[in-house]
Structure 1
Amino acid sequence: MSDSLRTYHAVKGRVCQMLPESGPYLTANVSLMMTGLVRSRSVQQKDIAGEVPLRTQDRSFEQRQRRFLTNERVEVDALYAPFIRPFLQACQGHMIPIILDGSAAGYHCQMLMAAIGYQHRALPLAWLVRKGQKGHFPATDHLEVTKRAAQLVPEDTDVVLLGDGEFGNVPLARDATLRNWCFVFRVACNDTVWVDGEQITLSEFRVQPDDVLWLENVLWTGEQFGPVNVVVTWNEDEQAAMYLVTNFDLHQEALYWYDRRFWIEPMFRDEKSMGFNLQTSHLRDPKRMARLLLIVCLAYLWILFLGTLAVLSGAIRLISRADRRDCSLFSYGLRWLRRLLRLDLHIPVRFCPYRSLHLRPAGGVG
């Protein structure tokens, strides 16, 4: 049996278990596209077609991919939910960080991603795609992707919403407050706050390296939203002051959680240059790109599981240096899969934390 066919059978067996009510059209296409994506490490339709175990012409499967990506009955959120829920359930009892960020995807497309911070990395939670190469998403899109992420979070779960300067806006902060979520957003230096009835521009508050200024119970912007708290701290990379708006009671909490915002950057790197080369997609239509992201995110979760399994089992010494860890879990997962195929070993496909590893959610203790 070919490596491609073995991979497909392993993936399809698990996909069918996770989507028991979905028909063979959907489970077969998801499994085939995941197989081709992981084996080719490319989102290009011709590359995926070249790695699937089908006797038909490659161009036939390219057309099949296009039909899948244009199929309005392929509901991304409903299909993705069963795969990401085990990770959210594993975080119950801990505060869950949800990280917002945007990135280029496809041809003249931008994706807005909400990801759950987990084990020093981010896992895709919900996303939307809009036309455009650069620029910020409007606040309405921020609210939309946050709403879709919130629908996946278990009830009575503590959440902190994190975002860089693009997300420092009143509508998003108000929405988080109504959900009883904590939030930490970076804001621009020309934003204003109201202190004792006086409107002051944030740039007037200056700090030196290693200094932190804490503005408590202030009102934010001309809308006078609040009360909120503001952290003014020194950004070593930019050699300038950085301003954070939060509803945490302590500046230490706000800084602790804001550091977790950067966990989303390795995820984008794994999905792009270090993994599936998402940046090379020629898709122009946002809806098609959103469905392609479904395949990319499912493959990403699976490869992370394989990387975790390689570390847990000690197999990491067979694929990398034993004295230090040079690669991400994602890279270890890709290497471990290649070894399993080369040695004709069982290919595990799971979409959950490996419980025996006692993975600690971001910010957890123990």
Structure 2
Amino acid sequence: MSSSQELYNRLSETMSALVKVTNRKQLANWLWIVVGLLQGKSPALSQIANFLPMNTQAESRVTLIRRWLMNWHVDVWAFYEPILKHVLQGWSAVQAYVILDGVMIFGDRWQIFRVSLQHGCRAIPLAWVVVPGEGVTTVQHLKTMLEWVKRLLHNRVKSVVFLADRGFRDCDWAQLCLDLGWNYAIRVACNTYITLEDGRTGRIDAWVSPYRNRYFQNVWLTQAQKLLTNLSVTWTTDKNGQPEMVAVISNQIACRTRCENTAAA
């Protein structure tokens, strides 16, 4: 028995019990793609094709894989959701960190936004959405996806901390997290205005010297004072060896951990 067939059999034994689809051929095709991903160690279709149990030419196998992936009759979530729920078993006492990120594709004509579950040094995708256009997106475009993630994680984890970078710095993201019952740790731009508890105002980068950590409790964010939050500031070094500020807002107490969690994401 080949190593590919052996891996397929092991995966099939587990996945067949979890994934309940009426067309079992779809499950078999999907498992062979997973085998190719694992053994080829690459998402390239040409690599995956090398591990399919067929005697056809490589080009024909690539065409077949592409046809499988483009099959609109396949319900992606019928495959993926039961696996996610299985993975989350035993997480009821865990504080889960979810990460929101995005990427431009097709010449910046589309953006893919993904919410992932942080697990060690890996990110497990929980949900994703494709949005047309470029630039900073709004809460309304992704609200439905985040509400779905809330329902998925509800009663499966102890609590949730939402992590995001400067592309999601609008105060509406923090407010949505609070509405969902999540904590948040979101990186903001260093030129963001804040108002301190004593009434003093100014840009974040005016309050913190290079390589000095500072933590501010109960600050108002932006000149319009749109959000009452806590601010943690630390420093890293950019690719040119220059100091780079890392400013993170959170509804939890400002401290070094907030910056570390966001940097790890």
Aligned to 1:193: 194
Q: State the distance in 2 between where 1:256 and 1:36 align.
A: 35
Deviation at 1:55, TM superposition (A): 4.4
Name structure 1 gaps, 5 residues minimum: 262-366
SS at match of 1:90: coil
Deviation at 1:163, TM superposition (A): 1.3
Cα deviation 1:31-57 (Å, max 9, x = unaligned):
121122223333333432332013455
TM-score (norm 2): 0.81
Aligned to 2:230: 229
User: Please, what is the CA RMSD of the aligned residues?
Assistant: 3.0
SS at match of 1:248: coil
Aligned to 2:19: 19
Q: State the distance in 2 between where 1:89 and 1:183 align.
A: 23
Closer, same or farther in 2 for the Cα pair 1:226/1:130, shift >3 Å?
A: closer
Which amino acid letter does the alignment assign opposite residue 40 of structure 1? G
Superposition pairs for residues 174-253 of structure 1, below 5 Å? 174-195=175-196, 200-209=202-211, 211-222=212-223, 224-237=225-238, 238-253=242-257
Aligned to 1:94: 94
Query: Where is the helix percentage greater, Structure 1 or Structure 2?
Result: 1
Deviation at 1:174, TM superposition (A): 0.9
Cα deviation 1:242-290 (Å, max 9, x = unaligned):
21111112424423433432xxxxxxxxxxxxxxxxxxxxxxxxxxxxx
Q: Aligned pair 1:36/2:40, yes or no? A: no
Cα deviation 1:88-108 (Å, max 9, x = unaligned):
333321211112223467886
Which amino acid letter does the alignment assign opposite residue 95 of structure 2? M
Closer, same or farther in 2 for the Cα pair 1:94/1:3, shift >3 Å?
A: closer
SS at match of 1:218: strand
The percent identity for this pair of structures is 25
Which amino acid letter does the alignment assign opposite residue 122 of structure 1? A
Aligned to 1:50: 50
Deviation at 1:83, TM superposition (A): 1.7
**Contact 1:77 / 1:126 at 8 angstroms: preserved in 2?**
no
Name structure 2 gaps, 5 residues minimum: none
Aligned pair count reads 259
User: Larger RCO: Structure 1 or Structure 2 (Cα < 8 Å, ≥ 6 residues apart)?
Assistant: 1
Which amino acid letter does the alignment assign opposite residue 167 of structure 1? F
**Contact 2:192 / 2:204 at 8 angstroms: preserved in 1?**
yes
Closer, same or farther in 2 for the Cα pair 1:198/1:71, shift >3 Å?
A: farther
Aligned to 2:69: 69
TM-score (norm 1): 0.61
